[in-house]
Structures are given as structure tokens and as C-alpha cells.
Amino acid sequence: MQKVHRPRDKWRDVVFGGIVLLIVLADQLTKTWIRTNLALGQSVSDTGFFRIIHVQNTGAAFGLFQDHSFTLTIVDIVGIVVILVLVLLLRSRWSFYDGMLVRTGMGLVMAGTIGNLIDRLRLGHVTDFLDFKVWPVFNVADSSTVIGSIIIACCLIFMTKTARHQE
């Protein structure tokens, strides 16, 4: 039997899309500001433990896979398609993907992926600028991806614990 979409289901789609749109917009605006106002390698706001610095990353997180932009672009596109299929098409089959918290996490991961994909396609590299000096330099899209992944992981852990208690 086909699941009937309630207004709540549409609202969750709007929230998912809104999260993606807002994060991509924030990511692109901050990267544009950095590229416009700071020369490559130039930094501002150096407080000792944090600084804003203009860095170009041709790899993935933590500087892995340097100079593999084409491969990373393909991985990003596949990831975006998988997220869309899970959130929009398979939610009726797997109710886990229909939860608002999971939907939020998926929106954050997708927004981060799109934000960095835009840079790779336009520039051939990703603009990073947030430097806590004990962690590799990152950007809004990276933060979004990490936070979204943590939310999804926590939901999976909670779901597993709940399922064990019901047995």
C-alpha cells in the first residue's frame, strides 16, 4: 500500500531544501568575501588560537587526495544523488530517513557537498579560511558536512539502542 503524503511530509521537504539553500548561500558568500578581501596566504584576526586565512585546497578533508579534483567532483555528484534518493524517494520505504533530525543532518551534509562542489567546478579548488591551528583549515561547507554527519550518526546510534531495548 502506498504511503499518503501528509502536509507534514511536504513541510519536511521545505525544511530540508531551506537548510540546503541557506548553508550553500552562507558558504558561497563567506568564500567570496575571503577571495575578494584576502590574498592567498594572507590572514586576519589572528588571536593566537584562531585566525582567518585564505587557503586553496585541491584535495578533500585534511588535505587528503590533493590534486584529485575530478575524482572528488564525481564523488560529490554521486553523494548528492544518493542523498536525494534517500531523503525524497526512499523515505516511505525506510522511515528512518523521514525523521526531522535525520532530514536536517542530510540537508547539512548535502549543503556542504554542494558548497565545495561549486568551488571545484568554478575554481578547480576549494577555498578554506577558518584556522584553529590545531586542526586543518576548513570552511562553512566542511563544518556543515561534519555537523550533519554527527547528527545522522547519533540518530543511528539512538535508533539501534531503541531497537535493542524493544527486543
Which residue in this structure is represented by grid cell 585534511? 62
14, 21, 32 from 24: Cα distances, Å: 15, 5, 12
Cell of 129: 579560511
Q: What is the pLDDT of residue 160?
A: 65
d(CA 59, CA 22): 24
CB neighbour list of residue 138: distance below 8 Å, 6 or more residues apart: 61, 128, 130
Cell of 4: 499518503
Mean residue pLDDT across the chain: 86
pLDDT tens for each residue of 140-167: 999 999 999 999 999 988 876 665 555 5
Sheet-wide strand order for 126-131: 43-44, 51-57, 126-131
Catalytic residue list:
128, 142
What's the mean pLDDT in 117-129? 94
pLDDT of 92 strictly over 80: no
Label residue 2 by pLDDT band (50, 70, 90). Answer: low
What's the mean pLDDT in 4-29? 84
Q: What is the pLDDT of residue 99?
A: 79
What's the mean pLDDT in 105-125? 95
pLDDT tens for each residue of 39-72: 999 999 788 889 999 999 887 776 667 777 788 8
Q: Which of 7-16, 22-31, 39-48 has the lowest mean pLDDT?
A: 7-16
pLDDT of 137 strictly over 70: yes
Q: Which of 6-15, 76-85, 115-124 has the lowest mean pLDDT?
A: 6-15
Q: What is the pLDDT of residue 1?
A: 46
Q: What is the pLDDT of residue 87?
A: 84
